[in-house]
Amino acid sequence: MAATAPFRVGMKEIYLPNFNIVLTRTPSQPPTSATFLTPLWFSKLDLRDYLYHAYDIRIGPSIRSYVQQSAIRQGQVKDPARPQYKRWHRPRATKRITVELERPFVWPKMPEDLGEWKPVENKMAGVEQQGMQERMGGASDAFAVEEGRRRGMREQARALLEGREKWRPGGK
């Protein structure tokens, strides 16, 4: 297939890709152009080779790429009990590559009946999960306290709150 390519094929061979390429829906563009979100290290030639070899899509001579910087944001405070200044940072930038396609691509229409796309409730999954928990030693009741001990703790807490007993670390 590499000998039939209408352009010079790159030497980078990708067998199992470890990256994501996202085709974005841009209604303002004509159907002969497509915009992709790619990793920052991905080049125009990489995208051209990838589209040709993976999907047999030939693109025209126009390929434009740009790196879109993210807005500066203020960081989250992890522990509100410990006040600290929120640090400002800039999230990772995104790279967008716009290509001109030889054949127009029209997005398919949304289906009117979304019933087949809704997740199917698996009634056996709950039974299997409960059986697995029982086999693992009652993981569903890992924090359960037997009734007699629960009553004793309730009485002890009530006595502490009413002042009849004084709290001592380590139990009695």
100 or 127, greater pLDDT: 100
pLDDT digits 0-9 by tens, 65-86: 999 999 988 877 666 676 666 7
> CA-CA-CA-CA torsion for 160, 164, 167, 171, nearest 10 degrees?
-90
| pTM of the predicted model as reported, rounded to 2 decimal places | 0.56
Look up tokens 């037997």; give the residue. Answer: 146
Between the alpha carbon of residue 28 and those of residues 32, 62, 108, 151, 165, the distances in Å are 12, 17, 16, 68, 74
Tokens of 122: 């698996």
Domains of the chain: 2-73+87-101 (3.30.70.330), 123-162 (no CATH)
pLDDT digits 0-9 by tens, 135-147: 776 555 556 778 8
